Amino acid sequence: MANKQYFGTDGIRGRVGHGAITPDFMLKLGWAAGKVFEKEGHRGKVLIGKDTRISGYMFESALEAGLSAAGVDVCLLGPMPTPAIAYLVRTFRAIAGIVISASHNPHYDNGIKFFGPDGTKLDDSVELAIEEYLGAPLVVVESELLGKATRISDAAGRYVEFCKSTVPSSMSLAGLKIVLDCAHGATYHVAPAVFEELGADIHVLGASPDGLNINRNSGSTSPESLSKAVVEFGADLGIAFDGDGDRVVMVDHLGEIVDGDELLFIIAKSRQKAGRLNGGVVGTLMTNFGVEMAFKNIGIPFERANVGDRYVMESLVRNGWVLGGEGSGHIVCRDNTSTGDGIVSALQVMIAIFESGSSLHELKKHMVKVPQRMVNVKVSGKVNPLDVEEIAQAVVNSEKRFGSSGRVLLRSSGTEPVIRVMAEGEDSVLVGEIVDYLAGVVKGALS
C-alpha cells in the first residue's frame, strides 16, 4: 500500500497557517473527501463538528465550501466533543463525519479527523483515495447539484441523552459532589448537563472558552488545578476532559490523580464482577506493567497494541473484546460507542463506584502502578533499534535481569529523531540501572 502524505495515525494535524492546516488546503480537502464519498454511490450528508479553538470557524467554512462544490450536503454541529460526532454520524445515517480539532494541543494547532458511516475512523484505503483527489484539479459540480448546508441546533441535547443512556436508569449521582474540568474545550456545554441531570452536585472549571484558552493549564493534560479544587470544595471526586473530549483523567477526594491506566482497570474489574466484561482488555506498549500484573492476578486476559487509539480499536475488533485504552485517558468501550469517549468512560467509572459502594480512592488501590522511567536518545535518522544486533542483545540481557518482575521497551518516535528507551518494574533501582544501560548502548550504536 502506498504511503500517505497527509494523514497520520489520527487524521491530519499541525500548526495553523502552516503545511496542510490552511484554509485553501481545507477547501480542497472538503472537495476531495466529498468526491470519495460521492464516488461510493452516496449523495448523503456529511456532519462537521469542531472544538472551541478560534481557527475552527475558518476551517469549518472552508470544508463546507469544498463539500458543497463536490455535491455533498453538509450538517453543521458547532462545538461538539469528537465522540459526539462519531455518535451523531450513526444516528443521522450520514455518510461521514468530520471533526475540526487538535485534541489536547494548544490553540495555535488544529487538525481534521474523519469518521465513516459506522462512527469509526476511516480505513487506510479511503484516506489514500482522498489523497489522490487532493492531487487532482478541483472541478465544481453543476449548480443544481451543489450541496446544501444546514445547522443542527439540537446536537448537544441529543448527545447528552446518549451519554445518560449508557448508565443504568436506576443509577443516580445524588449526594455526590463532583468537580468537572472541561479544558475550555468541546465538552464545556455538554459534560455539566450530563452530570447535573444525573443528580450530581457539580462545580465546573474550564467552561469559558474564548478560542485561545483551550487546554491552557487545564483539562486532562494539566489536572493539578482540578486536584486543588477537589480538596478546596470537599468534593468526592473530580473529572477532567481534554480539549475535544475523547480523553478523561480523574481525581479522588484526596486530590490524587487517577490516570487512564487506573481507570481502565477500575472499569474492567467492575464489569468482570457484574459479568459484563465480554472477553479481555487491550492496552498499549506504554501501559504500565502494574496494570498487566493486576489483570493477571484477577484472571482478565490482557493484550498490548501499538500506541494510538486506532491500534487499540483494531486489537479489540480482532479479539471480539469491548474494552481498551491508554494511560492518557483515551478509553474505548465498544459496547457503548465506536470511539474513545471521555464522558462515557467517566460514567463507566461512576457505575463502578455506584455498584461497589466504594470511593474512587478505594477502587484505585486494587491496582498499583510500578516504577517507570523513560529517556529519549537522539539519533541521526529513523531506524528500528531492535534491528541493530548490539541493541537487541542488550534488550535480551535486560529482560533476563528483570525476569517476570518488569519489562523494557525501545521504540522509534513517530514525530522526532529519537529512540524512546523505557523500563518499568517492581524494583525502582533496577529500573533506573537498566534504562541507563540501554540508553548508553543505543547512544553508542546509533548516535
CATH number at residue 394: 3.30.310.50
Do both 184 and 285 map to the same domain? no
Residue 415 pLDDT level (bands cut at 50, 70, 90): low
Last residue of a domain, one of 96, 120, 153: 153
Indicate whether 130 pLDDT > 80.
yes
Which tens digits make up the pLDDT trace of 140-163? 999 999 999 999 999 999 999 999
Do both 204 and 327 map to the same domain? no
Do both 20 and 148 map to the same domain? yes
Do both 248 and 269 map to the same domain? no
pLDDT score at 157: 97
DSSP for 16-32, please give it: TTSTT-SHHHHHHHHHH
Active site residue 103: yes
Cα 281 to Cα 300: distance, rounded to the nearest angstrom: 7
Whether 167 is in a domain gets the answer: no
Do both 190 and 141 map to the same domain? no
Average pLDDT for 264-283: 96
Whether 73 is in a domain gets the answer: yes
pLDDT score at 237: 98
Whether 283 is in a domain gets the answer: yes
Which tens digits make up the pLDDT trace of 104-114? 999 999 999 99
Indicate whether 41 pLDDT > 80.
no
Q: How many CA atoms lie within 13 A of 107 on its CB side?
A: 17
Cα 156 to Cα 117: distance, rounded to the nearest angstrom: 19
To the nearest whole percent, how much of the chain has pLDDT over 70? 98
Do both 271 and 379 map to the same domain? no
Catalytic residue among 101, 103, 227, 345: 103
Whether 160 is in a domain gets the answer: no
Cα 174 to Cα 96: distance, rounded to the nearest angstrom: 38
Residue 1 pLDDT level (bands cut at 50, 70, 90): low
pLDDT score at 381: 74
Residue 262 pLDDT level (bands cut at 50, 70, 90): very high
Cα 369 to Cα 366: distance, rounded to the nearest angstrom: 10
Secondary structure of residue 152 in the 3-state scheme:
coil
Do both 128 and 66 map to the same domain? yes
Residue 447 pLDDT level (bands cut at 50, 70, 90): confident
CA 205 vs CA 29, 79, 185, 196: distances in Å: 35, 18, 11, 14
Cα 292 to Cα 93: distance, rounded to the nearest angstrom: 39
Cβ burial 182-220 (10 Å sphere, 16+ → b, else e): bbbbbbbbbbbbbbbebebebbbbbbebeeebbbeebbb
Average pLDDT, the chain: 95
Are 324 and 309 within 8 A, CB to CB?
no
* Nearest one of 48, 115, 50, 47 to 79, comparing CA atoms: 50
- Residue whose C-alpha cell reads 537522539 in the numeric block: 378
pLDDT score at 412: 84
Are 95 and 46 within 8 A, CB to CB?
yes
The number of domains in the chain is 4
Do both 141 and 20 map to the same domain? yes
* Domain enclosing residue 413, as ranges: 372-446
Are 62 and 55 within 8 A, CB to CB?
no
> What are the strands, taking DSSP E only, across 16-169?
45-50, 73-79, 96-100, 109-115, 149-151
Q: Which helix (H) or strand (E) holds 408?
A: strand 406-412
| Residue 438 neighbours by CB distance under 10 Å | 25
Do both 265 and 325 map to the same domain? yes
What sign has the CA pseudo-torsion 234, 236, 242, 245? Answer: negative
pLDDT score at 8: 85
Whether 2 is in a domain gets the answer: no
Whether 71 is in a domain gets the answer: yes
CATH number at residue 248: 3.40.120.10
Residue 414 pLDDT level (bands cut at 50, 70, 90): low
Cα 324 to Cα 340: distance, rounded to the nearest angstrom: 9
Are 181 and 245 within 8 A, CB to CB?
no
Which tens digits make up the pLDDT trace of 61-102? 999 999 999 999 999 999 999 999 999 999 999 999 999 999
Do both 140 and 110 map to the same domain? yes
Indicate whether 9 pLDDT > 80.
no
Indicate whether 178 pLDDT > 90.
yes
Cα 82 to Cα 127: distance, rounded to the nearest angstrom: 19
* Nearest one of 252, 270, 443, 256 to 359, comparing CA atoms: 252
Give the chain's count of helices (H) and strands (E).
14, 18
Whether 4 is in a domain gets the answer: no
Which tens digits make up the pLDDT trace of 192-245? 999 999 999 999 999 999 999 999 999 999 999 999 999 999 999 999 999 999
Do both 147 and 210 map to the same domain? no
Cα 23 to Cα 5: distance, rounded to the nearest angstrom: 18
Whether 40 is in a domain gets the answer: yes
Do both 345 and 263 map to the same domain? yes
Last residue of a domain, one of 253, 287, 316: 253
Residue 265 pLDDT level (bands cut at 50, 70, 90): very high
Last residue of a domain, one of 369, 399, 417: 369
Cα 238 to Cα 179: distance, rounded to the nearest angstrom: 5
Residue 139 pLDDT level (bands cut at 50, 70, 90): very high
Indicate whether 314 pLDDT > 90.
yes
To the nearest whole percent, how much of the chain has pLDDT over 90? 89
